[in-house]
Amino acid sequence: MSDEFLQVATAEINNEISEIQNILNSCQSSHDVSANAAKIQKSTHKIKGLAPMMGKEDLGSLSALLDSLLKKIMTGIVVDEILESLIIAADEMKKSMTCTDYNLDKIKQRISNLSSALS
């Protein structure tokens, strides 16, 4: 992995995380999240692909869980805890970009539980 690729990928992921946070800052409820799910999902989808290529497998797997959950929400399912969970997830994603070996297990479990409840 070249240093240039890592710099570009890091900047791209950080931009996508910031975009998610900006969208979430405009949301007041689960219904607002539902209305913005497609926009958020575009960002999680990009992160899902890029993160593993730069050695951030945990971030990639969290993004895959979020991507799957958001696709369910885009079908019209409303999830009560989704706004709080996404705010926490975005914050954890941001921390994982600056801290080596940052543990995302707790938030991955939370998102997985939400997604499982919808199945």
Domain boundaries, the chain: 3-118
Residues 12, 15, 19: CA angle, nearest 5 degrees: 140
User: What's the pLDDT at 119?
Assistant: 66
User: What's the pLDDT at 45?
Assistant: 97
User: What's the pLDDT at 78?
Assistant: 81
User: Hey, which CATH number is domain 3-118, 1.10.3680, 1.20.120, 1.25.40, 2.60.40?
Assistant: 1.20.120
Got the DSSP string for 65-82? HHHHHHHHHHTT---TTH
- Binned average pLDDT, 10 residues per bin, the chain of 119 residues: 89 98 96 96 97 94 97 88 95 94 95 87
Say what the pTM is: 0.94
